[in-house]
Structure formats: C-alpha cells, structure tokens
Amino acid sequence: MSPSIRPADDIKRALLISLLGSVLSLSLKTAAFVVSNSTAALSDAAESVVHLFAVLFVVYGYYLSIKPADDDHHYGHERIEFLSVGAEGAIIIVAGLSILYHAFMSIITGIEIINISTGIFLLASAAIINLLLGTYILKMGRKHNNMIAVSNGKHTLTDVWTSGGVVIALVLIHLTGWLFIDVLVSLMVAGYIMYEAYKLLRFSVKGLMDTRNLSVDNSLTRVLEQELPAKAKGWHHLRHRTSGNTTWIEFHLVFEDDINLKHAHDEATTLERKLIDALNTDAVITIHLEPDEAHDEAHSILEGANKKKSLDEFV
C-alpha cells in the first residue's frame, strides 16, 4: 500500500469506528436515563444524540474532503473541513441548551432518581468506550494532520468528562441523598461542552475567513529570508491559506534584471521545493517572477483595476 493512501484509510477507519461507538454509547446512556430517571443522565444522553448526528455529518464531510479537484471545484473539496467542524460545534451548542432546559425543568417539577447503581454502571461503561474511542480518533487525526478527525476525537472525549461527571454525581447522591447535585452537575456539563463547542466554532470561522496561520507564515518567511536564490533581490505580496491537508501559497519574487527566464524559473522551482519542505502539509505554490528595475512600473498598470483599489489593498 502506498504512503499516499494509508493516511486516508486510517482516517476512514477511525471515523467509521467513531460512528459505531457513538451508537453504542447512546444506547447505554439512554438505558441509564430510563432506569434511573436522572436529569444528569438525560443530559448526557441528549449530548450523545447530538454527537451521533455530528459524527454522521463529519463522516460525510471527510468523504467529500478527499474527493479530487474537478471541473466545478478547481481547488478541491478540502474546505468542507471548516463547515464540518463548524456544524459539529453548532450542534454541540444545541445539546448544551437542551441540557440547560432539562435541568431547569427538573428544578420546577422536582427531582426523583431510582435504580442509581444500574445507572452508574451503564454510564461508566459508556465513558470507558468513549475514552478509548476518543483517544484513538484524536491520535489518528494528529498523526495525519486531519482537523476533521481531531475535532471529532475531542468531541468524543468531552463525552468522557460529561459521563464521568454524571457518574460522580450519582455516586454522591447515592451516598448523601442530596438530589440537587443532579441538577448542579447538569449545569456544569452544559457549560463545559458549550465551551468546547465555542473552540470548534472559532476554528471554523477563522478557516472560512482565511485567517493567517502564524505557524505556516513563520515557516514560509524563514525560508524566504534565509534561502533566497543568489540572483533574487527580494520578495513581497506573500499570501497563503490552508484547507485540509493543502496549503495554497502565492507571492512575488524579484530577480536581477539580467537573468534569463529559464534560469529564473529553475531558481524559483528550487525555492518552491524548499518552501514545501518547510511545511507539515502538501502545498500548491504560485510564484510571480519580476525583474528588479521594472516591477514597480508593472504593478502600477494594475493599480485601480476593476475595484479602483491598489494591489497592496488586496494583500
């Protein structure tokens, strides 16, 4: 099996296992709520319902992201990553609001919990499954630098904290008889998962808005400042954005006036390879070659084109 195929197979396997694990976890948590009537258990089950739908969307998003470029999508489909992660974050927010609603309804209607021991066993089993599952998915995502898998792994691990918190709550209720702990833990669970959702949404928005990746920018700038070709006079108008496993880069490279086109092209290609090697992603690089003496004059031709703005305003 070729190295280019293996990462995709790893991520596919991890996400499909995540889907099966989500179904099993939801079944255990639903059973825990049915037997115990605990609001905290219900909040945990509600989060798992949302998680299952999120995983379904994530699996679809991943399969779409690995499709190659086509006539309608010249830059490929990897930007679906940001939409997928954002949708997962939004769905988690909905789960948090649902938990808050049920917690406040319990305060109004009263709290009654039964069969605590059985509920604890079922929720603890779900937590163990999600711990193993989330750790595995997160490891695969980080290994192959795939944010879809990373976000899904983190979301799965939030299930461990929520289930663990509910288990602790039920144990304390069993020992003390303090039923208010059930509602208190529900509120804490809601706050925690909504904070995790905020971080996913922030990643999604920053990606969709092409926010500059400082790590990528520093790697590119280091090469451009230290390893320019001998006849290169400088560079400017560097732009880049990362979608999935691909970073798209473009900049202007200024050469001495007496260099011939072939030599300049060869030098630029060597520099391009150095830039790709400096990154942890695949890269598509477009370099605009310019002669030193005439590049300001060449830019002036484009100034104000169409939008009545200078080129610098777009960079």
**Residue 294 belongs to a domain with what CATH number?**
3.30.70.1350
Are both 258 and 135 inside the same structural domain? no
Rounded-to-integer distance, Cα 169 and Cα 190, Å: 14
Are both 198 and 240 inside the same structural domain? no
CATH number at residue 183: 1.20.1510.10
- The pLDDT value recorded for residue 295 is 66
Domain finish residue from 165, 183, 208: 208
Are both 224 and 193 inside the same structural domain? no
DSSP string, 277-288: HTSSSEEEEEEE
Are both 47 and 123 inside the same structural domain? yes
Residue 189 lies in a domain: yes
Residue 283, strand partner residues? 247
Number of domains in the chain: 2
Q: Cβ distance 28 to 125 under 8 Å?
A: yes
DSSP 308: S
Are both 80 and 227 inside the same structural domain? no
Dihedral in degrees, nearest 10, Cα atoms 136, 146, 73, 311: 160
Residue 225 lies in a domain: yes
Domain finish residue from 178, 208, 238: 208
Are both 267 and 119 inside the same structural domain? no
C-alpha neighbours within 13 Å on the C-beta side of residue 235: 24
Residue 33 lies in a domain: yes
Structure tokens at 129: 């499954």
Are both 184 and 242 inside the same structural domain? no
The answer for residues whose C-beta is within 8 angstroms of residue 4's C-beta and 6 or more apart is: none
DSSP strand E in 193-299: where? Answer: 232-243, 246-255, 282-291
- The pLDDT value recorded for residue 44 is 77
Rounded-to-integer distance, Cα 187 and Cα 171, Å: 17
The answer for residues whose C-beta is within 8 angstroms of residue 277's C-beta and 6 or more apart is: none
- Rounded to the nearest 5 percent, the helix, strand and coil shares of the chain are 70, 10, 20
The closest alpha carbon to 62, from 4, 9, 132, belongs to 9
Are both 232 and 179 inside the same structural domain? no
Are both 30 and 160 inside the same structural domain? yes
Rounded-to-integer distance, Cα 31 and Cα 26, Å: 8
Rounded-to-integer distance, Cα 237 and Cα 288, Å: 10
- The pLDDT value recorded for residue 253 is 94
Residue 1 lies in a domain: no
Q: Cβ distance 255 to 232 under 8 Å?
A: yes
Phi-psi region of 76 (alpha: psi -120 to 50; beta: other; left: phi over 0): left
Residue 304 lies in a domain: yes
Rounded-to-integer distance, Cα 84 and Cα 11, Å: 15
The verdict on pTM exceeding 0.75 is: no
Q: In which domain, by residue range, is 307 found?
A: 214-314
Are both 187 and 282 inside the same structural domain? no
CA 168 to mean position of chain CA atoms: 30
Residue 55 lies in a domain: yes
Residue 288 lies in a domain: yes
Q: pLDDT in tens for each of the 315 residues of the chain? A: 444 445 678 888 888 898 899 899 889 988 988 888 777 787 778 778 777 877 887 788 778 877 888 888 888 888 888 887 888 788 878 878 877 887 787 777 766 676 788 888 998 999 999 999 999 999 998 888 777 788 788 878 877 877 887 888 888 888 888 878 878 887 887 888 788 889 889 989 998 898 988 999 999 999 999 999 988 999 999 999 988 778 999 999 999 988 899 999 999 999 999 999 999 778 999 999 988 876 667 667 766 666 666 656 655
Domain finish residue from 208, 235, 257: 208
Helix (H, G, I), strand (E, B) or coil at 177: coil
Are both 278 and 307 inside the same structural domain? yes
Are both 13 and 127 inside the same structural domain? yes
